[in-house]
Amino acid sequence: MADPHNASTLLERVRARMSAAGVARRLHLATLAGTAFAAVAVLAVRLGGLLPPDQQSLQWLLLLPVPVVLITVLLHRNVGQDSAARVVDGFAGTHDLFLTLATIGNSAGEYQPLVLQAAEQKSQGINAAEVVPYRPQKPLALQLVSLTLLALLVLLLPTLDPFGKVEAATRVSREKKEVEQLLQTVRTRREEVARKVQSAEEREEQIRKRSQELMQQLRTMKPAEQQSNSEALTGQKNEFNQMWKKLSSDELQKMLSENASQLFGSEQNRRMNEWLKELQEGKSDSLQQQLERAQETMQSMLNAETAEERQQLASQLRKDLEELRKFSSRKAGSKDLENSLDQALKALEALNKQQSGNSESENSDSEQAQMDRQAREALKESLQMTKSELQELARSAKDLQKLEEALKTLQQAQKLNQQGQLSGEECEDCQSMEDYARRFAQQMSGRSGSAERTEPGSMMDEDDSDPEGYRDEKSRSQIQAGKVLLSIRTREDATEKDFDPEELRQYQNSVQAVKSGVQAAIESEQIPPGYVEGIRGYFDKLPDTP
């Protein structure tokens, strides 16, 4: 009996190739079906406007192989040996010879050796690759074309909005992102303000300790110890000057120099001037009361039962916040305070949108509740942050005034020390830096500018005698032709007609340019406060005419 190994191997190879070809065929059909379904979905979404544009991307195409592979696996069927035998019989024209071989184990009879021998002989000239050939070029090309068309459809097909769903969904998505971003910004800013407040508290304590140390040194100074006094005062002046430069800013200086004495105008302007005056004095009581009223209005708005009442309270809250923001930009000049109020107004607007029901039909209940909660939290934290900013602004103004007072006191003390009149015993009862400044000012005014007197209340008579024998002399200048540069008249005041008009105009322009540049020079050079008034007074006294 012949060995049936070759015939059985042939059947097994044919069966394996048939199984692989079946998987490939089902995969090809599933891919075409999935691509067609995706194309229909894209057409429906784009032409029907079912999704916003930001959700219509190619990312979902990455999920397309999942259902394709799943369908292929579910539809897969194993290929039996008898099916492979029928294919071989059909290819070789052996009239069910290999089918008989495949089922010979279940039959009885003496003809089995003959079947095995005949199948062995026929299998010698049969190749399994020819029986079940693989031709993947056409299916792969068809799949590539279908996927390319789908990608072009997604990229090029415009989005229509016949029912307004795209616009509504886009608005809802934008509002959600704005609320989330606003809340994140408020939380980040809250952490910055907390660090700022902590730094301000440390600065305030440092100024207090330094002021106490200065007052203690002033109490121990004696008129005869001018050198040691000067060294101590110089060291203290450098320390205070460094703290002043670190705290001083253009915004804070502008706020302190702003005119707060306006008594005319609208009620709002008068109220702003009162707020500014308090801030310049290092207080914020009225501003804090205004902000507390705004917080009460906010709480009433959140607890309002009717939409009409809620809108009315929201309008009042918006008005209060806008007034505070206007004060911050026009009077206080604080960018941080203005940013906090801007964020509060944005949070109020976002909350109004959520509570007015503009997007209720587009949001699920959970999304609506989340957006409402985030807007409430952003509004509350923004108002609390504004309160901290106001406290910090008042504290900075107060600290800066303390530093300037200390620098002025040091300047007065240095002048008294140069005159040998600095004595700590004369200010033993001084309890603050203001007391020292007041006492030093009294000492300086009592000793400067006094003329020598023969007796109290009488001035010395003028002596017109000429003990030295002075003579009037005139220089003999060379006389040349030209123009008169200067003419002098005696016993009368000079007038504008005594000067060349063009030269007079140039002089007046130069004086005005110098005066206008004084403030800029003071700010750019970081002049200590003790010298500012003297510099300004000198240039203010410059005459407009020679």
Residue ranges of domains in the chain: 5-163, 166-423, 498-546
Geometric angle at alpha carbon 265, from 259 and 267, rounded to 5°: 105
Partner residues linked to 458 by β-bridges = 455
User: Under a CB-based contact definition with an 8 Å cutoff, are residues 390 and 287 in contact?
Assistant: yes
Q: Is the pTM of this model over 0.85?
A: no
pLDDT band at residue 264 using 50, 70 and 90 as cut-offs? low
Geometric angle at alpha carbon 303, from 298 and 304, rounded to 5°: 95
H or E stretch at 229 = helix 226-247
**Residue 220, both tokens:** 């121990």
Partner residues linked to 455 by β-bridges = 458
User: Under a CB-based contact definition with an 8 Å cutoff, are residues 126 and 97 in contact?
Assistant: no
User: Under a CB-based contact definition with an 8 Å cutoff, are residues 391 and 284 in contact?
Assistant: yes
State the Cα–Cα distance between residues 244 and 266, nearest whole angstrom. 36
**pLDDT > 70? residue 486:** no
pLDDT for 105 equals: 63
**pLDDT > 50? residue 31:** yes
- Give 491-538 pLDDT, tens digit per residue: 445 555 555 666 666 767 776 776 666 666 665 555 655 556 556 666
Could you give the percent of the chain with pLDDT greater than 90?
Answer: 4
- Give 361-374 pLDDT, tens digit per residue: 445 567 778 888 88
Spell 267-303 as b/e; 16+ CB within 10 A means b: eeeeebbebbbbbbebebeebeebbeebbebbeebbe
Higher pLDDT, 313 or 101: 313
- Give 335-349 pLDDT, tens digit per residue: 888 888 898 888 888
Mean pLDDT of all residues in 241-259: 84
- Give 296-345 pLDDT, tens digit per residue: 998 888 888 888 888 899 999 999 999 888 888 888 888 888 888 898 88
- Give 33-57 pLDDT, tens digit per residue: 889 988 888 888 888 777 666 555 5
Higher pLDDT, 511 or 287: 287
How many residues in the chain? 546
Spacing of C-alpha 545 from chain mean position:
52
